[in-house]
Amino acid sequence: GNDSKVLTTKKIEKDFVLIFENEKSLIQGFSNIISELDPDIIAGYNSSNFDLPYLLARSKATKANFSIGRLSGDVKKEHHGLIEAVHIPGRVNLDIYNVAKFVSVVGAAEKLIKVNNFKLDEIYTAVTGKKKRMIERRDIWRLWDSNELDELAEYSLGDSLVLDELYNFFIPLELEVAKVSGTTLGEAAISTTGQLVEWLLMREAHKNNQIIPNKPSDEEIERRLANPVEGAYVKTPEAGIYKNIAVLDFRGLYPSIIVAHNIDPSTICNDCTDYYESPIGVRFRKEPIGIAPKLLKSLIEERIEVKKAYKKDPDNKALGARNMALKILANSFYGYLGYARSRWYSRECAGSVTAYGRQYIMSVINEAEKSGFKSLYTDTDSVFLLLEGKSKDDVFAFLKKINSMLPSGMELELEDFYTSGVFVGKRSGDVGAKKKYALLSENGRIKIRGFELVRRDWADIARETQRKVLELILKEGSKEKVIETVREVIEKLRSGNVPIKELVIHTQLRKSIRSYDVTSPELAAAKKAIERGQKKVDELEGTTIGYVITKHGNTISEKAELEEFATDYDADYYIEHQVIPATLKILKELGYSADELNGKGVQRKL
């Protein structure tokens, strides 16, 4: 916009550029701009990890006055669990990088699940469908030193405008998350779902004059971790391709179980006479209502009303954000009760919730088979039924029957009807893998779970080929087209005509580079870049990096190079370790081997 500026110490003849005499005056000039604008919120992207700590360090080195707070006090770095934060007195520091990761993890924006990493350009494209202006990192210093500054200025301005778009996309949800959880926007932006639930419970406990439990000691946390609860029921499918599938799932299974059975640490009883008894023998008194089920009931009821309003006004961003915030909080209660670091941890509660869940889902399977359906796959709160001659009306009649048997507040719903589905097997035997399937709905939408194309640790070439294979099988059912597609990709790799960007593998360096015992490809690539002076340790540690397997070296680790320094690629690696494994998981259900994909015809082991 007209108020967008780029600050620099070099002469750049652009209307949006402000020029300062030196670095010290630039930092102080930035502080003055913040003081004049007096914003409530300062937003950045990965700014708590890099930009603000860097500005703090440079202000100390240059003795500049870096006062961007509204109140007295220093801008300072803080640790908030696993998240790095920066406290700005009197203002909210909103790091959109943390917000984007949170939204992706909790599934609050479906399209964000498919990003390979959380770099600014990836998130921007996922949110808007647009591409931002890019300059290779290795070219930034060259442009600066050679005074080719116009491009750098446009790039810097572009990044700030991109951030503004992302801020406007995410801020409605963050505001509603803060409101629902009863905390500040600043705290909400750096909190996990468990911490948000804890804020809510602490506020409710205070209202009801209840004592807030202490945080557990390290010894207590270890004891809890050593004694986990039994999880959900999963029935693995037989690997194969199926037709005419109905998927049914419970609406908010765990939240509705907690409400229906008054599950709360304060309601556990031994000598009560009016109680619910869970399948693992824990008794929960029916009255009074515990604070967890009380809060959940309130969240669920409000969400029902908000969803109705949102359906009538689908362009209302505030309603959409409120709906999602209520969903996030409601779905986080069960996990919080079983979280080892929780103040309200209760193994009895968490174990009872999953036990009830197993009981209800198994009763659905049994009733379905009595009604003539075949159960294909079950996981936690969903049941996949093969119609096999049954009609849609039969499915709706079955749903009505089941719901008449459930406690108040619990409901089994139809997710969708699917015309076909692919379930892949494990490496041994014909038993299908958990959460690894693709379905084609009647309106042509493809639902994919567990395949490489929704993971970031595979190259784009493998993900995209797998996506094409799934689409061809589900939509056209043509084995010939599938094999032809895979072979075309293999030949393109062998010819050396695949762009480097399609071969990048992303992973995160979570630990100190020196602390790894085994030299993995990503670690080897990082170390080489550091040894050559191309990168610094603090640029890479804790970040998501991209690397390419090149032709140079004997082992895979020796061949790994960071993406910006890779000039070629090892075709055999990408064929044998990326494309073929990604597609063979599906194509073996059609009777094909790795050698047939490779055009060799004779079976051999990968």
Confidence of residue 603 (pLDDT cuts 50, 70, 90): very low
| 115 band by pLDDT with thresholds 50, 70 and 90 | low
Domain holding 501, by residue range, is: 452-597
Token reading at 15 = 């209307």
Q: What integer pLDDT is reported at residue 498 of this predicted model? A: 93
pLDDT of the residue at 446? 84
At residue 61, does pLDDT exceed 50? yes
> In angstroms, rounded to a whole number, what is the distance separating the alpha carbons of residues 452 and 458?
6
Highest mean pLDDT among 152-166, 442-456, 586-600: 152-166
Confidence at residue 472, expressed as pLDDT on a 0 to 100 scale: 86
Task: Out of 104-113, 167-176, 552-561, 579-588, pick the least confident.
Answer: 104-113
Among 268, 296, 291, 272, which residue's Cα sits nearest to residue 280? 268
Specify whether the CB–CB gap between 509 and 560 falls below 8 A.
no
Mean pLDDT for the chain overall:
87
Window from 204-213, 385-394, 420-429 with minimum mean pLDDT: 420-429
Count of positions (residues) in the chain: 606
Looking at per-residue pLDDT, the higher value among 458 and 91 belongs to 91
Residue 570 lies in a domain: yes
d(CA 216, CA 224): 10
95 & 152 share domain: yes
Q: Is residue 326 part of a domain?
A: no
User: What was the pLDDT predicted at 496?
Assistant: 92
The residue type at 434: K
CATH of the domain at 517: 1.10.132.60
129 found inside a domain: yes
- Residue 246's CB is within 10 A of a number of other CB atoms, namely 24
Question: CA-to-CA distance for 102 and 113, rounded, in angstroms?
Answer: 11
Question: In the structure, what pLDDT confidence band is assigned to residue 52 with cuts at 50, 70 and 90?
Answer: very high
Instruction: Indicate whether 199 belongs to any domain.
Output: no
Q: Mean pLDDT throughout 135-153?
A: 86
Of the residues 424, 449, 474, which one is the last residue of a structural domain? 449
| Judgement on whether residues 262 and 404 belong to the same structural domain of the protein | yes
State pLDDT tens for residues 16-44.
Answer: 999 999 999 999 999 999 999 999 999 99
Model pLDDT, residue 466 = 86
Greater model confidence, 148 or 111: 148
**What is the model's pLDDT at position 428?**
46
Q: Are residues 441 and 489 in the same domain?
A: no
Residue 571 pLDDT more than 90?
Answer: yes
Q: What pLDDT score was predicted for residue 142?
A: 85
How far is residue 569's CA from residue 549's CA, in Å, rounded to a whole number? 6
Tell me which of 587 and 312 has the higher pLDDT.
Answer: 312
**Are 442 and 470 within one domain?**
no
* Integer Cα distance of 382 and 395 in angstroms: 14
Of 431, 449, 467, which residue sits at a domain end? 449
- Which sign does the torsion angle of CA 506, 510, 512, 518 carry? negative
Asked if residue 238 and residue 119 are part of one domain, the reply reads no
Closest by Cα among 265, 286, 268, 269 to 337 = 265
| pLDDT at residue 320 greater than cutoff 60 | yes
For residue 435, the model assigns a pLDDT of 67
CATH number at 445 reads 3.90.1600.10
Same-domain status, 275 and 413 = yes
CB 469 within 8 A of CB 486: yes
pLDDT at 148: 87
Query: Tell me: the pLDDT tens digits for 263-287?
Result: 999 999 999 999 999 999 999 999 9
pLDDT confidence band for 515 (50 / 70 / 90): low
Q: Is residue 324 part of a domain?
A: no
Q: What is the pLDDT of residues 451-493, one digit of tens each?
A: 655 456 789 999 889 888 888 888 887 777 888 888 899 999 9
438, 549: one domain:
no
Confidence of residue 594 (pLDDT cuts 50, 70, 90): low
Separation of alpha carbons 454 and 436, rounded Å: 11
pLDDT of residue 111: 43
pLDDT tens per residue, range 229-263: 999 998 888 888 889 999 999 998 999 999 999 99
pLDDT at 602: 44
Do 433 and 467 belong together in one domain? no
Q: Are 352 and 329 in contact (CB under 8 A)?
A: no
Of residues 529 and 26, the one with the higher pLDDT is 26
Q: Are residues 436 and 531 in the same domain?
A: no
Asked whether residue 465 falls in the same domain as residue 445, the answer is: no
Claim to verify: residue 36 and residue 127 sit in the same structural domain? yes
Quick one: average pLDDT of 368-380? Answer: 93
12-26, 111-125, 193-207, range with the lowest pLDDT: 111-125
Residue 253 lies in a domain: yes
Which residues neighbour 390 within 8 Å (Cβ) at sequence distance 6 or greater? Answer: 372, 373
Give the span between the Cα atoms of 31 and 43, in whole angstroms: 15
Q: Report the CATH number at residue 124.
A: 3.30.420.10
Lowest mean pLDDT among 82-96, 295-309, 349-363, 586-600: 586-600
State the pLDDT confidence band at 110, using cuts at 50, 70 and 90: very low
432, 239 Cβ separation under 8 angstroms: yes
Residue 439 domain-assigned (yes or no): yes
Report pLDDT for 157.
Answer: 93
Quote the pLDDT of residue 329: 93
Q: What confidence score (pLDDT) does residue 84 get?
A: 83
Domain stop point among 429, 449, 469: 449
Q: Is the pLDDT of residue 158 over 50?
A: yes
User: 95: which 2 tokens?
Assistant: 């790091």
E strands present in 64-160: 76-80, 83-87, 92-95
Total number of domains constituting the chain: 3
Structure tokens belonging to residue 253: 């299974």
List, as one string, the DSSP characters of 433-489: EEEEEEEEETTS-EEEESSGGG-SSS-HHHHHHHHHHHHIIIII--HHHHHHHHHHH
Higher pLDDT, 6 or 436: 6
* pLDDT, position 492: 94
Q: Is residue 243 part of a domain?
A: yes
Overall average pLDDT of the 109-119 stretch: 58
Give the model's confidence band at 293: pLDDT under 50 very low, under 70 low, under 90 confident, else very high: very high
Task: Report the pLDDT value the prediction gives residue 583, as an integer from 0 to 100.
Answer: 84
CA 560 to CA 525: how far, in whole Å?
Answer: 5
Q: Mark whether 264 and 405 lie in a shared domain.
A: yes
What is the rounded CA–CA span in Å between residue 276 and residue 152? 66
Q: Which of 374, 352, 384, 366 is nearest to 249 (CA)?
A: 384
